Structure 1
């Protein structure tokens, strides 16, 4: 715009000064390679996650969820806590991924799965493998699939474990990423808003890694026990 201006040199100098002033006002970013030893750097303290797990128990009178999704949500939180699985890996679990006899969840990568009609298909980011789960979680999964999920007609048309229970459009379809973020991982709870303000979905993964490192045991993965 100012190439033909008689005072373009002065204008360019002013522009340079303005750019330098803007860079000087920008927040300083401190880059750090690797995780810090303090688990609070990437996630809330372990006590917060313990409180969350207590709050989402099906029989807790302060549970912030509707009764018809309490078991589903409790299982999701338990999987995050016990296995360190990512949100996308949980949403991508299919019924055939549960080995009931061995009490194992299989993490399988299914890009462009024909059964998945979600706009943003959640997929596993890591290598495929297996993670052991507790007897209690195995029992809860069986009850949810056999007694609750089976009652939703639309859920019979696909193999994904966790489905929407809300009536209307989307009923019975696999839980999507947005629903997982807004209605499950960070619900607007009147009972404990300060707790839920501190947690993140990926924070459960960091909390799992922190507890694992404190325990000093290698992870049980790919079906191999230490």
Structure 2
């Protein structure tokens, strides 16, 4: 099974789950049309990935849940536990394991000492993060409730079936992993120091000796090519993420017209969901609110050079307005994809995996938010009293800059940054007290 994306005449992108013979999966397609159609493309794709993962469970256990629901047989407590446990496994790793088990089951079994000695202890299956498991279970619970309600609609015992379906739905939701409150309070990126982000940005510089995009294998399709244009483009991708804190979808969704040059250059984030001028099946879009941000002269100059000297030399780039394009034949001039964008950041991180391996595009956005708070507080320390910004206005400034819908995200960063500063101050105090104690002992 695989997920494909079709583009409607209106520009709407619609993900579809296809069976091995290329035919759309009936129940998954119906579920999308009835329950997910109004959601964003990425949200629908995540939902279909959860359904596809459930299909792996059905195939391994030789079950057909749609038929079972038509017969009035709903999930037992053991089934619920089995499915929720299945949601913790990495899909690819489970598929390999299931295929191996199927092959082993087809082999003739012979009992012998040599056979027993040849047995190996299996490695545990790789697991996903708790939030991924949580979201999978949530989606699968909604899907199975929809499937059960639709498949059992013609049954005479509707009232009893309705109660069983509701029981099954609540059982699935109750088995979702509990959020780790200590992890959430520290933040996903709390362990990455600011120096790591700065080094990441420096490695993306076109002239850096350790820049991974050199002649030879590039991050795009793995074909040999000169990497001068790729270096400049990838440097801009990282600079925009570091300097402005834009999300990956916002960067990939930029149009040439979104960059305004002049004495005060700016970059605009514009929401263009399902726009017909974007030829990508899997469209990259802005999730946040529209806004206009000031550009540094250095970044504006680099963008101007890229548009006039790099992007313009690809004829296909004139057929669409997307800013960042592929540099390598045969796809040169096409809009850069989400996959290629992720590979750029992965390639830089692998230069120093021990220190940079956990850095992601969203991590750079997190770092920018922290630096934004620090910049505001530093400004207040050096500004005249009448020019200082009241701290209660920090949240609104963060919200407007990063495009958040409300002040909740801003409050998280303000609280977290205050705690980090207090922790650092306490560590410095401890070091000072320890040093004074050592001096006293020497005296």
Q: TM-score range by the shorter chain?
A: 0.7 to 0.9
User: Which residue of structure 2 aligns with residue 117 of structure 1?
Assistant: 279
Query: Is 1:201 equivalent to 2:361 in the alignment?
Result: yes
* Match of residue 129 from structure 1: 291
**1:212 & 1:92 partners in 2: Cα distance?**
23
CA distance in 2, matches of 1:201, 1:67: 22
Flag the structure with more relative contact order, 1 or 2, with Cα contacts below 8 A and sequence separation at least 6: 1
- 3-state DSSP class of the match of 2:302? helix
More helix by share: 2
Deviations 1:118-147 (A, max 9, x none): 121011001111111110000000000000
Determine which structure has more spread, i.e. the larger CA radius of gyration.
Answer: 2
Tell me the TM-score normalized by structure 1. Answer: 0.78
Deviations 1:130-167 (CA, angstroms, capped at 9, x unpaired): 11111000000000000011111111111111000011
Instruction: Tell me how far apart the structure 2 counterparts of residues 68 and 214 of structure 1 sit (CA, whole Å).
Output: 34
Partner of residue 64 from structure 1, selected from 195, 205, 212: 212
Gaps of 5+ in 1: 1-14
Which residue does the alignment assign to 2:311? 149
Q: Which runs of 5+ in 2 are unaligned?
A: 1-75, 89-129, 131-176, 214-226, 378-396, 403-443
* Rounded Cα–Cα distance in structure 2 between residues aligned with 1:76 and 1:188: 12
1:50 pairs, out of 174, 193, 198, with 198
Q: Which residue of the other structure, out of 233, 250, 253, is the alignment partner of 1:92?
A: 253
Normalising by structure 2, we get a TM-score of 0.42
Q: What secondary structure is seen at the aligned counterpart in 1 of 2:357?
A: helix
How many angstroms apart in 1 are the aligned matches of 2:287 and 2:183?
19
User: How far did residue 17 of structure 1 move?
Assistant: 9.2
The 5 Å alignment of 1:70-89 reads: 70-89=231-250
Cα shift readout 1:63-115 (whole Å, capped 9, x = no counterpart): 11132211111111011011111000000101110111231100000111111
| Residue number in structure 1 paired with 2:181 | 32
Aligned equivalent of 2:11: none
